[in-house]
Chains A and B, each alone.
Chain A
């Protein structure tokens, strides 16, 4: 068993690389989409809404295949890892947008009014008052996204990214022990996600606020 653990951990590193980069990209896209939906003008708001509905209404695998297998016919050729990161990031962004939007909307107009009334601009109010509260409120549901991504990133093996699941298939093709290897892989995912959840729970407890 020990002899292939190194291979799997290499795969886990790639899984981390995929999921954390995608989480970051998704965070930026999600925040932009949420702000566009709430504070944007009509075209921006529709654009954000279209993005969210399109991504949430189609399977992640299809999105990945369009980027990796589909776009080359338009002359856009991306590496497997880059395609996987883009697909996961764009996908995660749509879900994160909804978490952020829910959080921002639960804050209520009074906070914005108060911020504007001390003389802040709308942008200052969003940056200083609305977002710091929204992040805290979004954290519990956002934790789901952070816990899902390492698991969802396993679709990257379909486009030959050497992440954890792809590595395990390689190991199995050598040692022909699927049950054992998949159990170990499952355990690695479990420990990873439990750790991430624990860290986020601790962050939530530390920063949680009661909204007026």
Chain B
């Protein structure tokens, strides 16, 4: 107990999420090995690193989709590992956006977004619909309300995925490689939506390799490899003088691969 109180004590007042020494393994494979960081209200934290680094698992530990084996996560002053039967409720305080969208296939766009408020927050049908419409308008999908997910493009699906997360009015939005399953020409519309959210000061933790997005909105970047945080800091730090050799190698590989897109996104971000 004592150590936890200390842990709370040294956080700044505006900290929304505090990840404290999180460990997670599946069978004998240790995927996340002691990760800690804080996320401040209204900021975007970008997590990047090679595949298998434990980024997606870390996100799932944060919203207790896969509770950590050791360590914990605080949402404001609530220790999520101690929420017991209320864990489902606290999970709804995190919106989650998935790499492969995971829209509910049997529901229309509108119902995909309404179902959370209705089932989890027990909001009456009409009010839930109003909330959902606001979220759907925000991601510019109003005209597709009555379509089914299979009738949408990847970019549209992902924007609905974001609307579904927004409709729960979450404290934090977790995005798990939201653009990496998209065709290049569809990435822009999703990034634009994410930039809009950042501009509205939504708190986000985003696993992504879109370095243009990171440069434009991230206040903190975290480079992960083999389950640990190798290096963290501001975008300026990462793009001017990363200290770790692994970080440097990974960043230069990214620039080789994505250099072209980065310029485009940057331009989009600069317009804002």
Contacts and interface: CB of A to CB of B under 8 A. Distances in A.
B252 interface: no
Contacts of B106: 129, 132-133, 136, 209
Contact of B148 (A119, A129, A209): A209
B98 A116 contact: no
Interface stretch (B33-41, B114-122, B182-190): B114-122
A117 B150 CA distance: 21
Contacts of B116: 118-120
Contacts, number: 78
Contact of A210 (B104, B150, B165): B150
A209 to B, nearest CB: 5
A9 B243 CA distance: 86
Interface string A93-120: 0000000000000000011011111111
Contact of A114 (B60, B103, B148): B103
B89 A117 contact: no
B120 A110 contact: no
A209 B104 CA distance: 10
- Size category, A interface: 20 to 34
Interface of B: 60, 63, 65, 88-89, 91-96, 98, 100-106, 115-116, 119-121, 148-150, 157, 164-165, 168
A116 B102 CA distance: 12
Given A117-B96, A132-B106, A212 B101 contact: yes
A211 interface: yes
A38 B75 CA distance: 32
A120 B102 contact: no
Most buried by B among A118, A129, A132: A118
A121 interface: yes
13 contacts: A110-B102, A111-B104, A113-B65, A117-B94, A117-B95, A118-B164, A119-B88, A119-B92, A119-B116, A120-B120, A133-B105, A212-B103, A212-B157
A107 to B, nearest CB: 8
A36 B123 CA distance: 31
A124 B143 CA distance: 29
Nearest to A115: B104
A191 B164 CA distance: 47
B98 A110 contact: yes
Most buried by B among A124, A128, A212: A212
Nearest to B117: A118
A120 B120 CA distance: 6
Interface string A124-155: 10001100110010000000000000000000
Interface of A: 110-111, 113-121, 124, 128-129, 132-133, 136, 209-212
Contacts of B157: 212
B232 to A, nearest CB: 25
Contacts of B88: 116, 119-121
Given A114-B102, A210-B105, A212-B103, A120 B119 contact: yes
A78 B102 CA distance: 49
A118 B101 CA distance: 13
Given A118-B92, A118-B164, A110 B105 contact: no
Contact of B102 (A121, A133, A209, A212): A212
A117 to B, nearest CB: 4
Nearest to A134: B106
Given A114-B102, A212-B101, 14 more contacts: A110-B100, A110-B102, A111-B104, A113-B65, A117-B63, A117-B65, A118-B116, A118-B119, A118-B120, A119-B116, A121-B88, A124-B120, A128-B119, A210-B149
Nearest to A109: B102
A21 to B, nearest CB: 28
Nearest to B104: A129
Contacts of A114: 96, 98, 102-104, 164
A51 to B, nearest CB: 29
Given A113-B65, A113-B98, A209-B148, A124 B119 contact: yes
